[in-house]
Amino acid sequence: MARTDKKVGYSPTGKLEDVTPDMAATGVEAAFRMLEGRWKMVIIFHLFDRQVLRFSELERAIPGVSQKMLIQQLRDLERDGIVERAVYPQVPPKVEYRLTAWGQAMCPALDALLEWAVQRPQIR
């Protein structure tokens, strides 16, 4: 495994060097479980771009998603600590969504994943 100075939460010692392949697979599986769902990554990328979005703005930005599914995906992201929801007591209700600091911290990992995908060799 690569060296790092960061503490690894799923390692018994907190060091990346002590992570077994099974531990790494479990950690990656947990991360992917938080991000699985057809619309979660789309929501996250819109929030990376715009910082704060109202529900109606997200709905317009993602035309293929139903209102029910958008609500469900946002609730999952909120439950997992990736997105935070702010409700303002007014009529009509105003609800805004933004990435948490922890949600924003995944930006470099997603950028690296996009770079990796772009480098895909052409299959003949």
CB-based contacts of 103, cutoff 8 Å, min separation 6: 44, 47, 77, 81, 82, 83
pLDDT, one tens digit per residue, over 53-101 is: 999 999 999 999 999 999 999 999 999 999 999 999 998 889 999 999 9
Q: What is the DSSP letter of 32?
A: H
**Mean confidence (pLDDT) of the chain:** 86
- Kindly state whether residue 86 falls inside one of the protein's structural domains: yes
The CATH number assigned to the domain holding 107 equals: 1.10.10.10
Q: pLDDT-based confidence at 26, cuts 50/70/90?
A: confident
**Pair 41, 49: CB distance under 8 Å:** no
- Kindly state whether residue 92 falls inside one of the protein's structural domains: yes
This prediction has a pTM of 0.78
Domain count of the fold of the chain = 1
Question: Domain span at residue 102?
Answer: 38-118
